């Protein structure tokens, strides 16, 4: 089922949060972690723009933090590289292996 079709189905709050988070990760990979916007994420998730930050403590800032946390756990080099360049706490605490992968991505 496509994400836009899923958005039309009644989702629980945790399911909708996960849908938005995954859309944010995909968006960060497509346009960059620092460049992603509420509009980008809402379009990809198939939800109203106002819902994007609603499920995360701190709104859009909380969502960005959660994206970085997941990127570090998954070893998503493009996102972690941006986090390291921005001196984001989650990226700075990544394992050496993840940091090396991010550095190799930039090389």
Give me the pLDDT at residue 4, please.
53
Give me the pLDDT at residue 3, please.
53
Give me the pLDDT at residue 107, please.
86
Q: Using the structure block, give the residue that is written with the tokens 């940091």.
A: 99
Structural Rg of the chain based on CA atoms? 14
Number of residues that this document lists for the chain: 107
Asked whether the beta carbons of 19 and 39 are under 8 A apart, the reply is no
Asked whether the beta carbons of 84 and 71 are under 8 A apart, the reply is no
104 Cβ contact list (under 8 Å, min separation 6): 77
The pLDDT tens digits of the residues spanning 55-72 come to: 999 999 999 999 999 999
Long-range CB contacts for residues 54-60, cutoff 8 Å, separation at least 24: 55/13, 55/16, 55/17, 55/20, 56/17
Whole-number Å distance between alpha carbons of 44 and 25: 10
Give me the pLDDT at residue 71, please.
98
Domain range annotation of the chain: 3-106
The pLDDT tens digits of the residues spanning 12-52 come to: 999 999 999 999 999 999 999 999 999 999 999 999 999 99
Give me the pLDDT at residue 2, please.
53
């Amino acid at each position: 089922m496509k994400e836009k079709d899923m958005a039309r189905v009644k989702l629980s709050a945790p399911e909708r949060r996960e849908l938005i988070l995954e859309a944010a990760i995909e968006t960060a990979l497509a346009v960059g972690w620092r460049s992603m916007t509420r509009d980008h994420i809402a379009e990809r998730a198939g939800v109203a723009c106002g819902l994007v930050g609603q499920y995360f403590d701190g709104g859009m800032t909380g969502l960005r933090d959660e994206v970085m946390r997941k990127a570090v756990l998954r070893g998503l080099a493009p996102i972690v590289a941006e986090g390291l360049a921005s001196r984001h706490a989650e990226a700075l605490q990544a394992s050496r292996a993840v940091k090396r992968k991010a550095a190799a991505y930039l090389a």
